[in-house]
Chains A and B, each alone.
Chain A
Amino acid sequence: MIQILIFLSSGLFLGWSLGANDAANVWGTAVGTRMVKFKQAAFFCSIFVILGAVVSGSGASHTLGKLGAINELAGAFTVALAAALSVLWMTKAALPVSTSQSIVGAIIGWNLFTGSEIDVNALLKILSTWVFSPILSAVVAVVLYFIISFFMKHWKIHLIRLDGITRIALIAAGIFGSYSLGANNIGNVMGVFINSASGMFTDFSIGSFFTFTGVQQLLLLGGAAIAVGVFTYSKKVMLTVGSQIYQLSPITAFIVVLSSSIVLFLFASKGLKEFLVSQNLPSFPLVPVSSSQAIVGAVIGIGIAKGGKNLNLKTLGKISIGWVATPLISAIVAFVFLYIVQNVFSQVVF
């Protein structure tokens, strides 16, 4: 067990950093504008991130598993460590970075190191989803903006009451966002361990109606790491996001959180995918996407809806750099680390 925990530590570290940073994307505007108290946000965020991870987290994790079926615990540890350190370094160097893009790069690094064949279809699916997700988020934000603007024009509600309703809406959107974040991004944290570590956890059943599988236990552990990240480090990031980066009103903040949460949910929900497939409709691939980019996409959407005044081309440029630079750096780091772990520490990485 201790050996498993040591090897899982890199994934848990990745989970912690996700909780510290990405939770701020979901709750930052609400907490930063003092509409929701941090303790309230952290409480709801932790519970629903874990729920999302355990209940709906396997879909996006599975796609990562297809990209690189990492079969040894030491290999998974190294890949997750490479992704986590790449995120850390790039953050320190003030470069745009996303955990989703970093982990994909690290898996490709593993593929290259082990000489495994890269599933081009899975890779293309992931890359196109990255490009598509902020665009979709922007579109959803524009639609929501016009619906809510129309509604606000015809709804004679007192400003103070509207404030109360907006608080409740922000909490509801935050809960949905946390659930979607857990469902979509848990793959980044635990996806690489599924093949090598889930077998080490035994399934257990409560009565005949509920079985807690090894994969779900692994996802629960990752969810818990995210929750620890939320409680220990996200407050500072939330206040920065809320009060400095996005100058949004509480209602536009609600639109931004809801739009990005919808996008994260669309790319994570197995149930929705199965429903769409059963109706012969095109479905969304279950792929971990960047919550930051979904948020930035939604903010740009609001800017477009307001007449394009807030459109910042630099931000768009930064996003596209992230699509290429992050996986590339992460792949190189993973390759080097795998070499060291295999040859210096004599661990089996594949």
Chain B
Amino acid sequence: MFFNRVKSIENNIEKYFDNILRASLIFEQGIKEYLGSKFDEFEQRTKEIQKLESDTDDLRRDIKYTLYKELLIPDARGDVLGLLETIDNVIDISEKVMVRFSIEKPLIWDELLDDFIELTSASTKCVSELVCASRAFFKEISNVANFLTKVHFWEHEADKIEERIMRKAFSGDFTDKLSLKVHVRYFAERISQIADEAEAVAERLDIYTIKRSI
């Protein structure tokens, strides 16, 4: 009976991380489709990520409720809920960036397309390593540090690409309009912000891992 409830909450946590991972992959595909001018497909992806974000919120509330109701993991409950809540910010930001793309339809010059794809890919890798680290926190604590190193690596890569895009946007002669340049900078910053958020969660996870060692 007790272990059935344990199994159910284990499954919910796994599903939660699956959703985060799926959201980051949808985000990557969606941005690539936008940059490839496949706007219909992109809008479809935006709807998908919005639905996933809402489902993930419900799942998180369900996990939180069960952990408190069943008085599970009293010593690590706060940390686990903290982890689930902050990792949820990653999916929130991804969804918001896609919605902004959908509303503002930024003009990304051809010369910057590869850089944007590279930036999106770095941010996505950062999130996927964070999901691996979070799963390891639950199942294989000795492996958390390896994944966290990768999170930090990809966040640093994303920062470098973001800077490169900004330099190109402001030094190139794509346009005379400052507003367009600022617009491109804004979107590069937003995509990179996903990696920044993933790194912030990674830093918390690092502390939680130290606390969990017996």
Q: Determine whether the beta carbon of B6 is less than 8 Å from that of A164.
A: yes
**For B72, what are the chain A residues with a Cβ–Cβ distance below 8 Å?**
160, 163
Q: How far is the CA of A158 from the CA of B7 in the complex (A)?
A: 10
Q: Determine whether the beta carbon of B214 is less than 8 Å from that of A249.
A: yes
Closest chain-A Cβ to B101's Cβ sits at a distance in Å of 37
Interface string of A63-80 (1 = CB under 8 A from B): 000000000000000000
Q: Determine whether the beta carbon of A160 is less than 8 Å from that of B75.
A: no
Contacting residues of chain A (131-171) with chain B, CB-CB under 8 angstroms: 145, 148-149, 152-153, 156-161, 163-164
Q: Determine whether the beta carbon of B74 is less than 8 Å from that of A35.
A: yes
> Counting CB contacts under 8 A, is A251 at the interface?
yes
Q: How far is the CA of A33 from the CA of B73 in the complex (A)?
A: 10
Q: Determine whether the beta carbon of A249 is less than 8 Å from that of B10.
A: no
Q: Determine whether the beta carbon of A161 is less than 8 Å from that of B73.
A: no
Size bracket of the B interface: 20 to 34
Q: How far is the CA of A250 from the CA of B74 in the complex (A)?
A: 9
Q: Determine whether the beta carbon of A251 is less than 8 Å from that of B214.
A: yes
Closest chain-B Cβ to A153's Cβ sits at a distance in Å of 6
Q: Determine whether the beta carbon of A159 is less than 8 Å from that of B140.
A: no
Of the residues B71, B74, B76, B142, contact of A159 by C-beta under 8 Å: B76
Interface of A is mostly: helix
> Counting CB contacts under 8 A, is A252 at the interface?
yes
> Counting CB contacts under 8 A, is A39 at the interface?
no
> Counting CB contacts under 8 A, is B69 at the interface?
no
Q: Determine whether the beta carbon of A148 is less than 8 Å from that of B214.
A: yes
Residue of B nearest to A33 (CB): B74
Closest chain-B Cβ to A341's Cβ sits at a distance in Å of 50
Q: Determine whether the beta carbon of B214 is less than 8 Å from that of A156.
A: no
Interface string of B58-99 (1 = CB under 8 A from A): 000000000000011111100010000000000000000000
Q: Determine whether the beta carbon of B214 is less than 8 Å from that of A160.
A: no
Closest chain-A Cβ to B173's Cβ sits at a distance in Å of 55
Q: How far is the CA of A161 from the CA of B3 in the complex (A)?
A: 8
Of the residues B9, B71, B76, contact of A34 by C-beta under 8 Å: B71
> Counting CB contacts under 8 A, is B13 at the interface?
yes
Q: Determine whether the beta carbon of B6 is less than 8 Å from that of A161.
A: yes
Q: How far is the CA of A164 from the CA of B72 in the complex (A)?
A: 8
Residue of A nearest to B135 (CB): A158
Closest chain-A Cβ to B84's Cβ sits at a distance in Å of 12
Q: How far is the CA of A163 from the CA of B75 in the complex (A)?
A: 10
Q: Determine whether the beta carbon of A160 is less than 8 Å from that of B73.
A: yes
Q: Determine whether the beta carbon of A250 is less than 8 Å from that of B80.
A: no
Contact A158 to B74, CB < 8 A, known contacts A149-B214, A152-B214? no
User: Which of B74, B75, B142, B212 has the largest number of chain A CB atoms within 10 A?
Assistant: B75
Q: Determine whether the beta carbon of B214 is less than 8 Å from that of A159.
A: no
**For B140, what are the chain A residues with a Cβ–Cβ distance below 8 Å?**
156
**For A157, what are the chain B residues with a Cβ–Cβ distance below 8 Å?**
139
> Counting CB contacts under 8 A, is B154 at the interface?
no
Q: How far is the CA of A164 from the CA of B76 in the complex (A)?
A: 13
**For B137, what are the chain A residues with a Cβ–Cβ distance below 8 Å?**
159
Q: How far is the CA of A149 from the CA of B140 in the complex (A)?
A: 13
Residue of A nearest to B66 (CB): A160
> Counting CB contacts under 8 A, is B138 at the interface?
yes
Closest chain-A Cβ to B147's Cβ sits at a distance in Å of 15
Q: Determine whether the beta carbon of A159 is less than 8 Å from that of B75.
A: no
Interface string of B1-34 (1 = CB under 8 A from A): 0110010011001000000000000000000000
Q: Determine whether the beta carbon of A252 is less than 8 Å from that of B139.
A: no
Q: Determine whether the beta carbon of A33 is less than 8 Å from that of B76.
A: no
Contact A161 to B10, CB < 8 A, known contacts A153-B142, A251-B214? yes
Contacting residues of chain B (113-141) with chain A, CB-CB under 8 angstroms: 137-141
Residue of B nearest to A250 (CB): B75
Q: How far is the CA of A152 from the CA of B214 in the complex (A)?
A: 9
Closest chain-A Cβ to B35's Cβ sits at a distance in Å of 39
Q: Determine whether the beta carbon of B214 is less than 8 Å from that of A158.
A: no
Closest chain-B Cβ to A324's Cβ sits at a distance in Å of 35
Q: Determine whether the beta carbon of B142 is less than 8 Å from that of A160.
A: no
Contacting residues of chain B (160-181) with chain A, CB-CB under 8 angstroms: none
**For A152, what are the chain B residues with a Cβ–Cβ distance below 8 Å?**
141, 214
Which residues of A are in contact with B by a Cβ distance under 8 Å? 33-35, 145, 148-149, 152-153, 156-161, 163-164, 249-252
Given A163-B72, A250-B75, 17 further pairs, Cβ under 8 A: A34-B74, A35-B74, A145-B214, A158-B10, A158-B138, A158-B139, A159-B73, A159-B80, A159-B139, A160-B72, A160-B138, A161-B3, A161-B10, A163-B6, A163-B76, A164-B2, A249-B75
> What are 12 residue pairs bridging A and B, where the CB atoms are less than 8 Å apart in the complex?
A34-B71, A145-B214, A149-B214, A159-B212, A160-B9, A160-B138, A161-B3, A163-B76, A249-B214, A250-B75, A251-B214, A252-B214
Which residues of B are in contact with A by a Cβ distance under 8 Å? 2-3, 6, 9-10, 13, 71-76, 80, 137-142, 212, 214
- The 4 nearest A-B residue pairs measured at CB: A34-B74, A163-B73, A251-B214, A159-B138
